[in-house]
Structure 1
């Protein structure tokens, strides 16, 4: 009876506590100037705005998430009714921009920094994903939807960083499966196609929740992971390390050497640790060993089996040269 009462009460709140209907959500987006020149500028609490942008805004930046291309900035306009993040179950989900409201539902949940969520209806980008009370459910980008759990963490975290177990997970039916491993992580206990059964004694429900649990864990913490490998079930211990790629950043595992690529495998950033390799911004990676590469997936496949050192073929101004990383 209590569960039924709570469900009915929740339904009542969703139906009657939010005046104005779906069109009021569009009006709120317009009035708050949340979408300007293809840039999201969402007002939140404490006179601040979340900005989704590939380039730094010309505003006072409080913090920045380079993985999700999010900035938190001071809001000088001080919108009277800022957006709040809905961390409860949503009865209805809306894609909203300055001109229309599209009702639908999330079809596929966000899996960490590997793949963003998808919606049942076609949405314009950028736009907001809201519930029936105009609370924030996600941010719609050209790569997919950044879900509310990641936005909420971005607002609450003092330092923006993510943890890494040296694996990238994916959904295969109802299973959470290791899609690729970081071959440069010392003593990486995982193998591709391992099925993740439990994390720290708790059953893994889905790849989306597992990816969040990994990313949001404390860097340097120890964890026990129960896996199924072929016909064997075993428990491996892993120490989380700092994630250095993913989302809107490259995620080739070569970032661990201090080299960052765009989606076309052109170097866009070189850390000081990588300077001895003699590489320059603009160099294009075209081959690993004897295998041609065109994207992050090609790199992961070329690195399968683990590597202590690798030969990379780059191209610069129509000149090709090898670089050995170790």
Structure 2
């Protein structure tokens, strides 16, 4: 009993003086909270819950799941007394932290939506936590990049794990927040590939990362205005956020909007009820779109977008090929 009390008192001291002791205290906190478990992250947060990043479904009571970023909120049966919080304040320094060591670094590139995770300068065995010197969370470092604090905070605080979508994918390109893909299946979608986004909800947008956060964190069904530059014209459009269906760990070809999901090799891994009468099956491999061979999801999204009336898809199943027309 005495040893347990001594441990709790000493750990409380570490927790309260984390900023003073810097990242050494963060390493101790990660270790004592068992926040790193083999190839997954399980971070204690408020209200006796844990924020989990894992490729596998946790063996615990699950409150919420984000399939795009492999995030979960689960029950914390250990009731860790000193949970991590998300640092939404200004922070000058950060480090990648494990239960054994830390490496100071900085954000080289922000996370842009669900498909492009952030880039962190410090090379560290993953998964790892990115924290401030006070051990507040700045992100989660994964094999594919880091999930930044804005996405973690949004996932923890919102009732739903749904993301908003207005049918565009963007990137920063030569001073322009350029639309690089636009959903052809979204009814009356006014936005086109090549448009430069200059404003959202009456405010100027400074980066693709900021714009995608504004869109993704919006409520499904909410109304928005978007200002774009198309050729030499500035145009304003009214749009409505619908539920995001693809991105991150889920395929993102716009066909998900219709209910068809693929793996990286373009085999069907998910079909909704609507397509059961089309003759498609799980495992069928897509090989052509509108007469053009496709090898990956990026090519598929590009060629699908060129045909708004319908898409003619060629599938293969055990050396048998067949066409499906998607309207």
TM-score, normalised on structure 1?
0.92
* Shift of residue 305, structure 1, vs aligned partner: 3.0
* Residue 35 of structure 2: aligned partner: 34
* Contact residue 18 and residue 133 of structure 2 kept, 8 A: no
* Contact residue 130 and residue 140 of structure 2 kept, 8 A: yes
* Residue 297 of structure 1: aligned partner: 298
* Shift of residue 249, structure 1, vs aligned partner: 0.7
SS at match of 1:311: strand
* Shift of residue 98, structure 1, vs aligned partner: 2.5
* Shift of residue 308, structure 1, vs aligned partner: 1.7
* Shift of residue 307, structure 1, vs aligned partner: 2.1
* Shift of residue 55, structure 1, vs aligned partner: 2.5
How many Å separate the matches in 1 of 2:224 and 2:129?
36
1:80 equivalent to 2:81? Answer: yes
How many Å separate the matches in 1 of 2:38 and 2:232?
54
Large movers: runs of 4+ above 4 Å: none
Q: How does 1:1-326 map to 2 (within 5 A)?
A: 18-326=19-327
* Shift of residue 319, structure 1, vs aligned partner: 2.5
Give the stretch that moved more between structures: 129-138 or 218-227.
Answer: 218-227
Cα offsets for 1:185-229 (capped at 9, x unmatched): 111101111110111211111111110111111222222211111
Give unpaired runs (5+ residues) of structure 1.
1-15
Cα offsets for 1:126-184 (capped at 9, x unmatched): 11111111110111112211111111111111111111111001111432110110011
SS at match of 1:57: coil
* Contact residue 43 and residue 79 of structure 1 kept, 8 A: yes
* Contact residue 262 and residue 269 of structure 2 kept, 8 A: yes
How many Å separate the matches in 1 of 2:19 and 2:175?
35
How many Å separate the matches in 1 of 2:18 and 2:105?
21
* Residue 5 of structure 2: aligned partner: none
TM-score, normalised on structure 2?
0.91
* Contact residue 18 and residue 26 of structure 2 kept, 8 A: no
How many Å separate the matches in 1 of 2:240 and 2:91?
35
Q: CA RMSD in A?
A: 1.4
How many Å separate the matches in 1 of 2:282 and 2:103?
42
Count of equivalent residues: 311
